[in-house]
Structure 1
Amino acid sequence: MKNLLVAFLLIASFRLSAQENLNFGKQKELVSPEIHTDKSVTFRLYAPQANKVELQGDMLNQTGNAQMQKQADGIWTYTTAPLKSELYSYSFVLDGVKTRDPSNVYQIRDVASVVNVFLVGDGKADHYAVTDVPHGTLAKRWYNSPRNNMNRRLTVYTPPGYESGKQKYPVLYLLHGMGGDEEAWAALGRTAQILDNLIAKGIAKPMIVVMPNGNVAQQAAPGEDVKGFYKPTMQLPHTMDGKMEETFGDIIKFIESSYRVNANKSQRAIAGLSMGGFHSLHISRFYPKTFNYVGLFSPAIMPFGKTNSPVYENIDQTLKNQFSNGLKLYWIGIGKTDFLYKTVADYRNKLDSNQMKYTYVESEGGHTWANWRDYLVLFVPQLFK
């Protein structure tokens, strides 16, 4: 009798739980963000006990956060003006505490912050969208870096058809900024989507894209190596002290021994944003016969800290050597309001005074992924022609 009673209670509990779930499923779904036909976007957050809710994001055409309005049902709302085509990120600030949108499952980590994202199409953001075209493959690969005395990880994009083919491909080495890692360009930069779409349209040649971790003190992205879960930081040991440049050969060696690569200077390119632009400048200069194509996206050109690295010796002469070695493209992009604008202008003056030819693109905006994605879209079609 006792066992029968227990069984009855378990069944009753299950039925009650199931009924509660059914009732929950009948509740009105909260849509946020909602993109309207005119490209305005409405954000919603259910927070009936909150005193103040703000919207924070790169789609706001104003200084600071936008105040959301509380409705009678406890839902806070805010509707933007019509937005330009772009991939946007945002968060809510609830009574002073930054939080994510529980109605939006699409999130990306940017250094130590996690933000929600959404895409407004019918424009340049179509480059970043997944479209009905042949797709390449993203792989996270571990490799041995003897000059760093550790195994490290990088991300590799191989173009559509790589696995079933036999041909050799050119390679673009694509470097992230300070605080980033081998996941940054794939997640925030939408590299695979951009390459898939450009290749499908015949605008870019099929190529392999290598996205390494530029923080040589790390094995891999935070939470992905033996150090476990820790809070990511911007400044790490060996940041811009020459160690990344000195050990970059380990990456090239791994790629050229593991993939079907055309290992010729004319088939190698290197580009990077911010700190990655700094690395691209000096790696390409330090190994002047290695790359035919160089891209500097908002490059961090600034005075160096204390370092004994040979990488930063004889900069003027090694630049001249690099430019005299048949360099096909030296590409620089910067936003008009980027905090690095002045240092990039000074660097351009150096190149001009030495009659070193380069391509220069000046865009609106500042030090943002919106610009760096655009620069990748502009840079990639010019490679390996």
Structure 2
Amino acid sequence: MKKTIVAMAAMLVAMGMSAQQNISYREGDIVSPQVNDDHTVTFRVKAPKAKSVKILADWEQNNGQATMKKGKDGVWEYTTPQLASEMFTYRFDIDGVLGIDPVNPFTRRDVGNIFSIFYVGGGAADEYLVKDVDHGQVRTVWYHSNTANADRRMNVYLPAGYGKTDKKYPVFYLLHGSGGDETAWLDLGHMARIMDNLIAEGKCVPMIVVMPNGNFGKQAAAGETAENLAFRPVSTHLLPHYKDGLFELAFPEIVNYVDATFNTIPDKAHRAIAGLSMGGMHTLMITANYPDMFNYIGLYSAGVDFSHLNMEEVPAYANLDTKLTKLAQGNPKLYWIACGSEDWLLPANKRLMERMDKDGLKYTFHESPRGHLWCNWRQYSLLFIPQLFK
């Protein structure tokens, strides 16, 4: 009996040591990233045996790339130029091996890659942070799609105070890009924080925000269903139902579920929709096929390059000019298009706008700096959302 107790005690000590190792991952006193008062940022990583250490990031200067300098004790260091206010992502390249910052616990997944993140305040990024304001809630819900013959998952932001009275709210449907899912606008777009802050600051009206999964061949994000445990995130063009129009044609299933489940104002005047990249393509086609459903429409860096697609073979995409003319006759209150000056999709967006001119569809165009990046899509939301339901 005594030997058994001793053995069990030894086992518990060993388990405790193992658990302690799991939480003791920080590398001594190394600080990285260090956001400096002048909006420069210093990175450090300990790699004494490395021959080369680089940083790969998404800030504008030098295309976010730099070679770090080795210092004492094998600690490599680099300080950026002055950065704009934003949330930035980065990784280290240590002798050709890409990885996150080992002393920075804050990460985000974008498609199938994990990035370390940090914020530079004093501007746009202030709207991405949790402030001392009334907070809404996010509900993860499942709706049934007869078209897909499956239950599908989406996230729904409800503003502060929702459900305390019988008040009904307008609804903003927000769609992700290729490789994203129903978590993208929350994790990378900071949509819940943005909505809390814009509402509290009086910059927009309180509204419900619906963020569905646009990968119609999948029920939910990777890892969220039994089948999806083996599904690794990939760009949507590698998944079933890419650009076959089923997601767009089935979109009323989402709208009907939302109106039946939440306190909405179920009419065109109180519905908005926007999407980034692939979601912009979805937004274009949803509103073209259902011209009486949305009064506010936003395309963010929309994936509207039709050069490799036979439009007339896809019912959702066929007769687009006729559909856009009918949409124009319905006179949506706002059709807002935004794209970066360095975005590879800018020429396709300009061709779309020329098409809209011929079809009589009025729109507003915003051209921003830079390319196909989350910093642009977050900032487009800061511009688009305050215009809704006014």
Give the shorter-chain TM-score range: over 0.9
Q: 1:299 aligns with which of 283, 298, 302?
A: 302
Verify: 1:247 aligned to 2:250, yes or no.
yes
Q: Distance in 1 between matches of 2:176 and 2:138?
A: 16
Distance 1:2 1:186, change over 3 A: closer
Aligned residues: 381
Query: AA paired with 1:305?
Result: L
Q: Equivalent residue of 1:209, what SS? A: strand
The TM-score normalised by the length of structure 2 is: 0.92
Instruction: Map 1:71-220; keep pairs closer than 5 Å.
Output: 71-220=71-220
How many angstroms does 1:60 deviate by? Answer: 5.4
SS in 2 for 1:338: coil
Secondary structure at the aligned position of 1:311 is classed as coil
Query: Which of 339, 353, 364 is 1:359 aligned to?
Result: 364
- RMSD of aligned alpha carbons: 2.4
Q: Deviations over 1:12-70 (max 9, x none)?
A: 967x969x98xx89984221101111111111111112121111101251147311111
2:174–2:210 Cα contact (<8 Å) kept: yes
Distance in 2 (CA, whole Å) between partners of 1:86 and 1:68 is: 22
Q: CA deviation at 1:74?
A: 1.3
Does residue 286 of structure 1 match 2:327? no
Deviation string 1:166-218 (CA, Å, 9 cap, x unpaired) is 21100011001111110111111111111111100111000000001111000
Shift of 1:4: 10
Task: Give identity over the alignment, percent.
Answer: 44
| Alpha-carbon offset, residue 100 of structure 1 | 0.6
Closer, same or farther: CA 2–71 of 1 in aligned 2, 3 Å: same
Q: Is the partner of 2:62 in helix, strand or coil? A: coil
* Aligned equivalent of 1:319, options 313, 321, 324: 324
Any unmatched runs of 5+ in structure 1?
none
Q: In structure 2, list runs of 5 or more residues that go unmatched.
A: none
Q: Aligned with 1:233: secondary structure?
A: coil
Letter matched to residue 320 of structure 1:
T
TM-score (norm 1): 0.93
How many Å apart are 1:326 and its aligned residue?
2.9
Rounded to whole Å, the distance in 2 between the matches of 1:325 and 1:5 is 79
Q: Distance in 1 between matches of 2:296 and 2:225?
A: 32
Counterpart contact for 2:144–2:152, Cα < 8 Å: yes
Looking at structure 2, the residues matched to 232 and 7 of structure 1 have their Cα atoms a distance apart, in angstroms, of 44
Q: Distance in 2 between matches of 1:87 and 1:316?
A: 39
Judged with a 3 Å threshold, the aligned counterparts in structure 2 of structure 1 residues 330 and 40 are, in CA distance, closer, same or farther, namely: same
Cα distance change on mapping 1:247 and 1:7 into 2, 3 Å: closer
Q: SS where residue 250 of structure 1 aligns?
A: helix
User: Are the equivalent residues in 2 in contact too, given 1:153–1:182 (CA < 8 A)?
Assistant: yes
| C-alpha contact 2:340 2:346 (8 A) present in aligned 1 | yes
Letter in 1 for 2:210: V
User: Among residues 330, 338, 342, which one is paired with 2:335 in the alignment?
Assistant: 330
Q: Which amino acid aligns with 1:174?
A: L
Comparing 65-74 with 170-179, which one deviates more in the overlay?
Answer: 65-74
8 A Cα contact 1:60 1:80, kept in partner? no
SS at match of 1:108: strand
